[in-house]
Chain A
């Protein structure tokens, strides 16, 4: 079946540090992949997406590359800010599902210290 595995959190970094949050997936076919961010007490916001192998999604300094050979979609940012503190969710949407039912990872909490 389809699944998403994220690295366990929390991840604590100093401001301006490099961020990597690992995400690997299991899926049949060619799923679309997403990163969502959730700030405290809020809903999820789409951060970036990739729909085919080798696509790179990017937004607000974050980026992730769809790696089919390693079934990965790791989130990276070169220099984090305190305002990036949030929970980050990796998700996949199976292309065989016309209803686009997402499979979410368990989320990784990021805390950035000033």
Chain B
């Protein structure tokens, strides 16, 4: 069966520091991968999606970037965090049936 992992689970970072969040999927090949952000009390905003290794599409202009160095690995990064980057970051993978399956999320607090 397929599983999706995210780490770290929680992170507290100062403004201006770098960021690296990792997502890995097991039990499937060539999945579509997605990064979402959920701000406090709000819905989900799609940040990036990827249909294959090295293929990244950005949905929202921001100071975040994403990379997919391996088939089942998706990384969200920033060189300098802003206060507004605080939120709950969710990774998801999509199979052939157009459902998306979400990871447990990373709670990021920027101080």
Contact = CB atoms under 8 A, between A and B. Distances in A.
Interface string A41-68: 1111110010100000000000000000
A32 interface: yes
Contacts of B101: 46
A106 B46 CA distance: 13
A interface residue count range (under 10 / 10 to 19 / 20 to 34 / 35 or more): 20 to 34
B32 interface: yes
A107 B40 CA distance: 12
Secondary structure type dominating chain B contacts: strand
Given A34-B99, A106-B43, A100 B105 contact: no
Given A43-B90, A99-B49, A100-B32, A89 B43 contact: yes
Interface in A77-114: 89, 93, 99-102, 104-107
